[in-house]
Chain A
Amino acid sequence: MPKYGRVKDSHIKVLEDIVGSEKVSTRPEELYCYSRDSTIFKYRPDVVVRPENSAQVSEILKVANEDRIPVTPRGSGTSAAGLPLPVYGGILLDMSSMNKIELIDVENQIAIVQPGVVCDVLNERLREYGFFFPPDPASSPICTIGGMVNTNASGNRTMKYGPTRNYVLWLEVVLANGKIIHTGSKTLKSVSDYDLTRLFVGSEGSLGVVTKVGLKVVPLPESVGTAIFIFDSVDKLVRAATKVRLSGIVPEMLEFMDRRTTSASFDYAGIKDVPEGNFLLLDLGERREAVEPLLEKVVSICNSENPEFVDKTLDLEYRENLIKARKAALPALSRLRPSTAMEDCTVPLTKLPEAAVKVEKIPEDLGVEGFGLGNFGHIGDGNMHPTFVFDEREEEQRKALFKAIDILYQDIVLPLGGSVTAEHGIGLTRAKYVALEHPSTVGLMRSLKRLFDPNLILNPGKGKGGPLSVEEVGS
């Protein structure tokens, strides 16, 4: 069985020559810090390298490809799917130093950024021009554009604006052999090539290393308004959200958190004047004169499901705090138990109520003390993030996690016609379900991977083709 090449002192020397010794580390303390993302998994790289430009990335990949050394790109390391974890060690590429916004051209509605640019930082700059890049993951204060491209991230505003792929016009990518390619065109529309741009979007670092991104940017809405509701059951909440969705109103955000998640998130955000319960947040971005009447209308719609609490606001500070609470849902659940594992599933919108009720029962069915659940997500897209809360140091609870994930995807999501990931990527946790969801194309995906990366060096051991690495499949 062929194996990956090991990182030797001679490789370190070459890497130092490429990026400078201060940008290369084999310190055990750094390797320890880079061995984690937001999952409970731990995989240490052999070396961490922080390139500053695409030429350096190209040189690094040439060296790695030559000696079959695994390369795992990493943005801010916020993945909840193990995407930036170097399963087979090797080189970890910390892309966060490539963080320049190279161009903002609002007349052409284009921004050109390096992959290490943070989403909120880009939007802070775009706001000066009255524009924005709409995909809005909960991790927006820290997640990078490179990470968003590689996961096709979406988040809170997807219902109205769609995911990252809708905004990626072109890419600069370094292939496994070090070749630098450019996909797409520097225009808002083009069909002059196979849609390689979209192939790379969501490819989880498995086909190439993204080193530059051309993004479409759009004008900010003139005005925003927010309505919030507390329901005594998830069922009622889902029904209310469905009624809003079918009313023809298209909110920017239609977000929910179950009772446990709401409690933890409100505690974090210091929200005391909203009662705890199942929380629905509805955010509108419209022309100034349209916001208030539409808010009235959604309140009227949701009132038909008898919420326990209703509030609406045009106050930006209050709105910001509500969104802050929603965005902190995952980490705030760590207030409940020492470990969290966030899943990412989507079901057809009509199946959402059934899925939500079934998901809620998973911990009860498993009956393991200390193992619980908080659920939240983007209800407008049928996208839930069931998050299991537990203590990873307890063997029984750790085993319960993997059983719970199996139940979630195999017994609930896939039978309902859903997908095992909506926006976080396959990564480590969901690799085994790819063939179940895509039995007719998993082989093609594996062939595609080999076409781009014959030595299987790029982010091996996970991803779209299912676990795919030299160690698993041979050469």
Chain B
Amino acid sequence: MSVYDLESYSEDVQRCMRCGFCKSLCPTYEFVGWESGSPRGRMLLIKGLIDKELEVNEYVADKIYKCVLCGYCLWRCPPGVRTTDAIKACRKFLVDSGFYPRELDDLEEKIEKSHNLYGLPNDSRLKWLDLANLSNEVSVNRKAEVVYFPGCVTSLSSRGRRIAYSSSRILNKMGLNWTLIGEEEWCCGNPLLLAGKLDRLKDIIEHNVEAIRGLEAEVLVTSCAGCYRMFAQEYPKFVGDLGFKVYHISQLIEERLDLKSFMVKDGGKVTYHDPCELGRQAGIYDSPRRILKDIFGSLFVELPKNKALAKCCGGNRVTRIINPEVSRNLALRKLDEARSIGARKIVTACPACVVNLSEGGGEVEVVDLTEVVAEVMGLT
């Protein structure tokens, strides 16, 4: 069986005994209302497809694509059903069967042709270096110990680029021997995986791994939660041992920078939003918090639902394309949650979350962790 073959999840969905714990914080069940819109219901739909008790059709596809893949159900599931992977496998099955949102063809085409999710010329990945006058301070496509993989949103979106500026300045401040892949950096493939479009995924993964290995890097660092989880958890499923370690930049900052001397003593409460793919799905909760506590001290406050219970902001690319109203509603709820504790600023550690939350508007400032660190260290 290939990776994400639907049949390989038949024992998972059998093991679901419908306790329903997964429903309790599912962000989409609230919107859908019907049982089929809950994680438990989706597992039943998948079981129905595998057991051939249900026909594949647009209704099933709609329910399976409504999931935002936040991973709450995966974390909450006592039987240990691989819920999120089962959804991805089902999406692949739906694509193969011809039942999927057609908007995803455009996404696939952009990534296939241009190697980024915006369909822009891939050499524009480096434009941010010029925009921030960093061309002389950042090496590109040179052999180095560390490769920084900004990813599509960070390299190519106007809001995301500010994360690239701060991340690169932080990496310089750490004194690391680091480089960018440059125009041979391809989209990590996460949007295609979330979309169920897996035909070219292995090629993409092999390309990126070869590019990084070619630079003889020992460490890959990302500032994107999606890229991080993709490299750390998905790439090995396709190509085995990567030959380099994968870090999220928050881990490096925590390890290498002493931020206590930069403590901010006023300016209002600051809170942290756990990106789903960094927190619940990759277990990185503490590094961002230690950094923020060092910087903000008692001004740092937790959201009512935090860490594993953190609610998704709706920022993943596929949801933004096919269910924009869900993305917007989830962002607005997250900002409401921040307001409910009087937070002036919500910090996160993923460009997709930053972009989606920023579009929610309002008086709560949305920033990336790297921007906070760069600002307090005077690196902007």
Q: Which residue of A lies closest to B43 (CB)?
A: A33
For B80, the chain A residues whose CB sits under 8 A away are 267-268, 334-335
> Is B20 interfacial (CB-CB < 8 Å)?
yes
Which residues of chain B come closer than 8 Å to A30, judged between CB atoms? 34-36
A174 cross-chain contacts in B, Cβ below 8 A: none
Q: Which residue, B24, B54, B57, has most C-beta atoms of chain A within 10 A?
A: B24
* A142–B54 touching, CB < 8 Å: no
- With A32-B48, A338-B14 in contact, do A139 and B78 touch (Cβ < 8 Å)? no
Q: How far is the CA of A267 from the CA of B41 in the complex (A)?
A: 25
Option from B11, B20, B60, B79 in Cβ contact (under 8 Å) with A332: B79
CA gap between A50 and B15 in the complex, in Å: 28
Would you give the 0/1 interface string for B23-63, flagging 1 where the beta carbon is closer than 8 Å to chain A? 11000000001111000010011001000011101011001
Q: Mark A264-278, 1 if CB is under 8 A from B, else 0.
A: 010110000000000
Q: Whole-angstrom distance from the CB of B3 to the nearest CB of chain A?
A: 23
Q: A353 an interface residue at 8 Å Cβ cutoff?
A: no
Given contacts A29-B59, A78-B19, contact A34 B78 (CB under 8 A): no
Given known contacts A36-B44, A328-B78, A332-B79, A77 and B59 CB-to-CB distance under 8 angstroms: no
Asked if A340 is at the interface of the complex by the 8 Å CB criterion, the answer is: yes
Determine the chain A residues whose CB is within 8 A of the CB of B14 once the complex forms.
Answer: 338-339, 393
Interface size on B, residues (CB 8 A): 30
Q: A-facing mask of B139-155, CB < 8 A → 1, else 0? A: 00000000000000000
Interface string of A19-51 (1 = CB under 8 A from B): 000000101111011101110000000001010
**A246 vs B40: C-alpha distance when bound (angstroms):** 42
Q: Are A139 and B19 in contact (CB under 8 A)?
A: yes
Q: Is the CB of B24 within 8 A of A334?
A: no
A339 touches B17 (CB 8 A): yes
Q: How far is the CB of B59 from chain A (nearest CB, A)?
A: 5
Complex contact B35–A118 (CB within 8 A): no
CB distance from B303 to the nearest CB of A (A): 15
Chain A contacts of B18 at CB under 8 A? 36-38, 77-78
Tally inter-chain residue pairs, CB-CB below 8 A.
97
Cβ of A123 within 8 Å of any chain B Cβ, yes or no, is: no
**B262 interface residue (CB < 8 Å to A):** no
Q: How many residues of A contact B (CB 8 A)?
A: 37
The CA-CA distance from A335 to B24 in the complex, in Å, is: 21
- Contact at A32–B53, with CB atoms within 8 Å? yes
B73 nearest CB across to chain A (Å): 12
Q: Does A152 contact B (CB under 8 A)?
A: no
Which A residues from 323 to 353 make CB contacts under 8 A with B?
A: 328, 330-332, 334-335, 338-340
Q: Say yes or no: is A141 at the interface (Cβ < 8 Å to chain B).
A: yes
B171: min CB distance to chain A, Å: 33
Chain B residue nearest in CB terms to A40: B17
Q: Are B54 and A29 in contact (CB under 8 A)?
A: yes
The residues of B that contact A393 with a CB separation of less than 8 Å are: 14
What is the CA–CA distance of A332 and B17 in the complex, to the nearest angstrom? 10
Q: Given A332-B79, A334-B79, A335-B80 in contact, is the A142-B20 Cβ separation under 8 Å?
A: yes
Task: Say whether A340 contacts B20, CB under 8 Å.
Answer: no
Do B17 and A331 touch across chains, with their CB atoms under 8 A apart? Answer: yes
Count chain B CB atoms within 10 A of each CB in A38, A77, A334 and give the residue with the most.
A334
CB-based contact B21/A141 at 8 Å: yes
| Chain B residues, CB < 8 A from A283 | none
Q: Is A97 an interface residue (CB 8 A)?
A: yes
A139 / chain B contacts, CB cutoff of 8 Å: 19-21
Which chain B residues (258-305) contact chain A, with CB distance < 8 Å?
A: none
Closest to B304 in A: A124
A120 close to chain B: CB less than 8 A? yes
Contact across chains for A77 and B20 when beta carbons are under 8 A apart: yes
Alpha-carbon gap, A393 to B60, bound state (A): 25
What's the Cα separation between A34 and B18 when bound, in Å? 11
The reply to whether B15 and A25 form a contact with Cβ atoms under 8 Å apart is: no
Query: Given the known A-B contacts A268-B78, A335-B79, A335-B80, are A29 and B17 also in contact in the complex, defined by CB atoms under 8 Å?
Result: no
**Are A97 and B35 within 8 A (Cβ)?**
no
Q: What's the minimum C-beta distance from A138 to chain B, rounded to whole angstroms?
A: 9
| Contact mask for chain A residues 211-235; partner B; CB cutoff 8 A; 1 contact, 0 none | 0000000000000000000000000
Give A94 to B23 CA distance when docked, in angstroms. Answer: 15
Say if the beta carbon of A76 comes within 8 Å of chain B. yes
CB distance from A370 to the nearest CB of B (A): 14
Q: In whole Å, how far is A123's beta carbon from the nearest beta carbon of chain B?
A: 13
Nearest CB of B to A117, in Å = 13
CA distance A328 to B20 in the complex (A): 11
Q: Give the shortest distance, in Å, between B300 (CB) and chain A (any CB).
A: 18
In angstroms, how far is the closest chain A Cβ from the Cβ of B122?
A: 41
Of B17, B23, B36, B41, the most chain A CB neighbours within 10 A belong to: B17
Closest to A328 in B: B78
Contacts of A48 in B (CB 8 A): 34-35
**Complexed CA–CA distance, A419 and B33 (Å):** 37
Chain A contacts of B23 at CB under 8 A? 76, 142
- The CA of A78 and the CA of B48, in the complex, are separated in Å by 20
Residues in chain A near residue B19, CB distance under 8 A: 38, 78, 139, 142, 328, 330-331
Residue of A nearest to B59 (CB): A29
Residue from B11, B21, B45, B57 within 8 A of A33 (CB atoms)? B45
Contact digits for A83-101, partner B, Cβ 8 Å, 1 yes 0 no: 0000000000010110000
Would A76 and B20 count as touching, CB distance under 8 A?
A: yes
Please pick, from A29, A38, A78, A330, the residue contacting B63 in the complex, using a CB distance under 8 A: A29
Question: Which A residues from 377 to 436 make CB contacts under 8 A with B?
Answer: 393
Per-position contact with B for A185-200: 1 when CB-CB < 8 Å, else 0?
A: 0000000000000000
**A331 contacts B44, C-beta separation under 8 Å:** no
Closest to A267 in B: B80
**B36 and A340 contacting across the interface, CB-CB below 8 Å:** no
Instruction: Decide: A142 near B21, CB < 8 A? Known: A27-B59, A334-B15.
Output: yes
Per-position 1/0 for A301-335, Cβ under 8 A of B: 00000000000000000000000000010111011
Q: Which 6 A-B pairs have the closest CB atoms?
A: A334-B79, A331-B78, A331-B19, A328-B78, A33-B35, A332-B78
Q: What are 5 of the A-B contact pairs (CB < 8 Å)? A: A32-B44, A38-B20, A331-B19, A335-B78, A340-B17
Q: Which residues of A contact B (CB under 8 A)?
A: 25, 27-30, 32-34, 36-38, 48, 50, 76-78, 94, 96-97, 118, 120, 139, 141-142, 265, 267-268, 328, 330-332, 334-335, 338-340, 393
List residues of chain B with CB under 8 Å of any chain A CB: 11, 14-21, 23-24, 33-36, 41, 44-45, 48, 53-55, 57, 59-60, 63, 77-80
